[in-house]
């Protein structure tokens, strides 16, 4: 087994010289392949670094990237790193009609990261312009097309000199819009976590392994797990466009089957979706026996989902040992723990009473599950050599095995902190341990996660994890899947449980019956009576940019008496048209204002003035088309 051990990502890219047989393959929406060998990736990185340097960018400068496709994203990211710049990957605007909240998030993130330039596709510019005028640090936009062109002459293509402590890139987590936090990932972090994932965790072999990923590249699991770590350890990867996966989820398994993939990762929801969409004739055709790691992480792992996946995909020769539950977070670069490569999904059944009252994880017989007196927790494995996981109580005292408390991590993968946010850094990274905010316990050194600390519901001195209550409700007929929210409100004696959900029905009698059965289910399974069950119209509960329901916001709306009343259908209302018109107008204004500023700043840069005029004309056409259609 070849052992790769580059001191940093730049050196890892440089090791690629002359390696033309393997590398990264990018599929497009039509399944057409673009193959870039390790050697070609190195050349592309050097060329793009030169382009970026031509803009006056130097070591430590941030560059924001909004590039949806891997074939643009990966070489550009590597090029920026090669030049010593700090890339700031952002997610592209994808969903229909969410431009307003997208713009707000983007502006907040950019104002935190303070990038000098933003790199995007020329066709994306129009969508983004509305927000960019609010970002003072930005000098302009560089298009991905420009970076593809021949390297500019007289500009250095040499690799930047970096040390372990130098920033490699900023990883923004999908937190709240108002206070985005950028995890400052250093070159030392990347090297340590790449080693943990590829060597300690996956025991990868560059001669035989082949990664397959549809994960978004602006997300830690996609970027570190499938771009950076495989570059360090020279494991070839086939990239499926995220949108292609979302459009047709079985493309994931189909591609693994076709290229004989061995390593893939995804969050729980993707396993549920792809399993559901797999047709019998596909299952009969696929041979997935090649896969040694079906990693599952990035969101709570539902044992039921995993079992359905293993059972269904066994028809496609899936090896049950391939399933690899894992635990990680952006603040620890990516991975914190994996189960062993020879282990399969295992769970711990713990007594609900002991968990809720004494915060201990006491193993009980599985039959207690059906009686509603126990809960099942997935084993997420052990942490990696050189790293340590500890469980702490609220006073900061370290707890022994099977005691439930906050999971904390230390080791070389733990990031430096949040970029330019000393308060948040102290809160989360202070004292030498990364406070994950997750509640869990250790048993035989394995990590078990029971929930998020801040969401925990405490009723009559018992602890309940809202996720588990929501899973119970989500399963019920009539409830829109993934639409329920559990939280508590202050009551007379103790906190009281409130369940809010979206239902598919409008009939009064059905709604009442649904409320009753929700109450009954919670009572049966958790010995807990919800004080209130609120049924809202579909689509009315607040969600985050990534589509997750926002518990705290729902709770606030409930307390304010506005839950389910905001954002209801206002079909045909003039307000919606105004929103749309505002976008178009802002986009135009932003563009011209920004260009005007650039023209003043770089009065001699004739090229950009022409460019501006051309683009303004385009925007003008678009605007007048839009207006004619609207009004």
Partner 1 sequence: MATVHIPTLFAQAALEVSGKKLDNLSGATVISKLGLDSVAVMELVAHFEEKLNIRMPDEDLAKVQTVADLGGLVKRLMPAGSEVTW
* Residues at the interface with partner 1 (CB under 8 A): 29, 68, 92-99, 121, 123-124, 126-127, 243, 246-248, 269, 273, 480, 482-483, 502, 504, 537-540, 546-547, 567-573, 576, 579-580, 629
User: Nearest distance from residue 629's CB to partner 1, in Å?
Assistant: 6
User: Nearest distance from residue 356's CB to partner 1, in Å?
Assistant: 31
User: Nearest distance from residue 97's CB to partner 1, in Å?
Assistant: 4
Give the C-alpha distances (Å, rounded to integers) separating 452 from 429, 439, 473. 17, 6, 19
The closest of 444, 457, 472 to 376, measured between CA atoms, is 472
Compute how many other C-beta atoms are within 10 angstroms of the C-beta atom of residue 557: 23
Cα torsion through 549, 552, 554, 556, rounded to 10:
-170
Burial of 273 (0-12, 13-18, 19+ CB in 10 A): middle
Burial of 375 (0-12, 13-18, 19+ CB in 10 A): buried
Which is closer to partner 1, CB of 69 or CB of 406? 69
Residue 363 tokens read as 């193993």
Which is closer to partner 1, CB of 38 or CB of 471? 471
User: Nearest distance from residue 583's CB to partner 1, in Å?
Assistant: 8
User: Nearest distance from residue 83's CB to partner 1, in Å?
Assistant: 27
Task: Please give the helix or strand (H or E) that residue 13 lies within, else none.
Answer: helix 9-14
Burial of 30 (0-12, 13-18, 19+ CB in 10 A): exposed
Which is closer to partner 1, CB of 493 or CB of 575? 575
Rounded-to-integer distance, Cα 252 and Cα 248, Å: 8
The closest of 466, 620, 615, 485 to 557, measured between CA atoms, is 485
Which is closer to partner 1, CB of 2 or CB of 96? 96
Which is closer to partner 1, CB of 55 or CB of 269? 269
Which is closer to partner 1, CB of 444 or CB of 570? 570
Burial of 261 (0-12, 13-18, 19+ CB in 10 A): buried
User: Nearest distance from residue 358's CB to partner 1, in Å?
Assistant: 38
Which is closer to partner 1, CB of 20 or CB of 546? 546
Using an 8 Å Cβ cutoff, are 115 and 137 in contact?
yes
Task: Please give the helix or strand (H or E) that residue 63 lies within, else none.
Answer: strand 62-66
User: Nearest distance from residue 28's CB to partner 1, in Å?
Assistant: 11
User: Nearest distance from residue 630's CB to partner 1, in Å?
Assistant: 9
User: Nearest distance from residue 556's CB to partner 1, in Å?
Assistant: 20
Which is closer to partner 1, CB of 427 or CB of 481? 481
User: Nearest distance from residue 510's CB to partner 1, in Å?
Assistant: 14
- Which stretches does DSSP call E strand in 329-402? 335-338, 347-351, 374-378, 382-383, 388-392
User: Nearest distance from residue 359's CB to partner 1, in Å?
Assistant: 34
Which is closer to partner 1, CB of 4 or CB of 269? 269
Which is closer to partner 1, CB of 136 or CB of 629? 629
Give the C-alpha distances (Å, rounded to integers) separating 3 from 72, 198, 205, 272. 29, 10, 8, 35
Which is closer to partner 1, CB of 559 or CB of 578? 578
User: Nearest distance from residue 393's CB to partner 1, in Å?
Assistant: 37
Rounded-to-integer distance, Cα 69 and Cα 121, Å: 10
Rounded-to-integer distance, Cα 585 and Cα 583, Å: 5
Which is closer to partner 1, CB of 4 or CB of 622? 622
Rounded-to-integer distance, Cα 235 and Cα 227, Å: 10
Rounded to 10°, the helix 606-630/122-132 angle is 80
Using an 8 Å Cβ cutoff, are 265 and 296 in contact?
yes
Task: Give the N- to C-terminal CA distance of the chain in Å, as an integer.
Answer: 66
Which is closer to partner 1, CB of 248 or CB of 531? 248
Rounded-to-integer distance, Cα 47 and Cα 607, Å: 21
User: Nearest distance from residue 280's CB to partner 1, in Å?
Assistant: 18
Residue burial 308-347, b: 16+ Cβ < 10 Å; e: rest:
ebbebbeebebbebbbbbbbbbbbbbbbbbbbeeeebbeb
User: Nearest distance from residue 281's CB to partner 1, in Å?
Assistant: 17
Which is closer to partner 1, CB of 25 or CB of 125? 125
- Alpha-carbon 427 to chain mean position: 22
Rounded-to-integer distance, Cα 526 and Cα 509, Å: 26
């Amino acid at each position: 087994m070849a052992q790769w051990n580059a001191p940093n990502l730049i050196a890892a890219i440089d090791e690629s010289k002359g390696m033309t047989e393997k590398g990264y393959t990018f599929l497009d929406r039509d399944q057409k392949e673009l193959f870039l060998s390790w050697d070609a990736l190195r050349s592309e990185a050097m060329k793009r670094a030169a382009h970026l340097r031509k803009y006056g960018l130097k070591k430590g400068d941030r560059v924001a990237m909004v590039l949806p496709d891997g074939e643009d994203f990966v070489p550009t990211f590597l090029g920026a790193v090669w030049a010593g710049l700090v890339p700031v990957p952002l997610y592209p605007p994808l969903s229909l009609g969410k431009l307003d909240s997208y713009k707000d998030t983007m502006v907040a993130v950019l104002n935190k990261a303070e990038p000098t330039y933003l790199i995007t596709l020329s066709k994306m510019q129009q969508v983004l312009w509305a927000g960019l005028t609010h970002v003072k640090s930005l000098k302009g936009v560089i298009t991905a097309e420009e970076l593809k062109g021949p390297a500019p002459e007289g500009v250095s293509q040499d690799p930047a000199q970096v040390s372990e402590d130098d920033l490699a890139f900023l990883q923004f987590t999908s937190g709240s819009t108002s206070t985005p936090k950028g995890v400052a990932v250093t070159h030392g972090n990347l090297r340590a976590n790449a080693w943990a994932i590829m060597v300690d965790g996956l025991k990868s072999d560059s001669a035989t392994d082949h990664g397959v990923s549809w994960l978004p590249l602006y997300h830690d699991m996609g970027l570190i797990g499938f771009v950076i770590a495989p570059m360090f350890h020279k494991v070839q990867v086939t990239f499926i466009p995220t949108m292609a996966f979302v459009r047709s989820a079985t493309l994931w398994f189909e591609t693994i089957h076709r290229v004989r993939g061995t390593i893939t990762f995804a969050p729980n929801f993707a396993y549920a979706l792809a399993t559901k969409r797999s047709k019998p004739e596909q299952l009969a055709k696929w041979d997935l026996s090649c896969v040694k790691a079906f990693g599952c992480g990035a969101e709570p792992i539902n044992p039921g989902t995993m079992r359905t996946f293993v059972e269904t995909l066994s028809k496609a020769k899936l090896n049950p040992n391939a399933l690899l539950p894992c635990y990680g977070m952006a603040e620890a670069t990516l991975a914190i723990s994996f189960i062993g490569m020879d282990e399969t999904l295992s769970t711990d059944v713990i007594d609900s009473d002991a968990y809720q009252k004494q915060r201990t994880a006491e193993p009980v017989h599985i039959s207690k599950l059906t009686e509603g007196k126990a809960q099942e927790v997935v084993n997420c494995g052990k942490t990696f050599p050189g790293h340590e996981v500890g469980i702490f109580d609220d006073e900061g005292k370290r707890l022994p095995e099977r005691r439930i408390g906050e999971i904390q991590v230390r080791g070389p993968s733990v990031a430096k902190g949040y970029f330019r946010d000393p308060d948040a850094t102290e809160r989360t990274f202070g004292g030498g341990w990364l406070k994950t905010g997750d509640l869990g316990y250790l048993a035989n050194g394995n990590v078990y996660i029971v929930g998020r600390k801040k969401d925990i519901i405490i009723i009559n001195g018992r602890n309940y994890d809202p996720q588990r209550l929501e899973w119970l409700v989500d399963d019920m007929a009539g409830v829109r899947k993934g639409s329920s929210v559990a939280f508590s409100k202050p009551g007379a004696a103790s906190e009281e449980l409130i369940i809010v959900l979206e239902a598919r029905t409008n009939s009064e009698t059905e709604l009442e019956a649904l409320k009753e059965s929700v109450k009954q289910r919670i009572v049966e399974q958790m010995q807990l009576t919800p004080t209130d069950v609120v049924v809202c119209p579909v689509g009315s509960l607040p969600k985050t940019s990534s589509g997750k329901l926002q518990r705290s916001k729902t709770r606030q709306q409930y307390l304010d008496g506005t839950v389910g009343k905001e954002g209801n259908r206002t079909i045909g209302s003039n307000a919606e048209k105004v929103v749309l018109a505002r976008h178009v107008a802002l986009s135009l204004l932003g563009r011209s204002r920004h260009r005007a500023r650039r023209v003043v700043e770089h009065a001699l840069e004739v090229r950009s003035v022409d460019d501006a005029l051309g683009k303004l004309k385009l925007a003008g056409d678009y605007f007048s088309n839009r207006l004619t259609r609207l009004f």
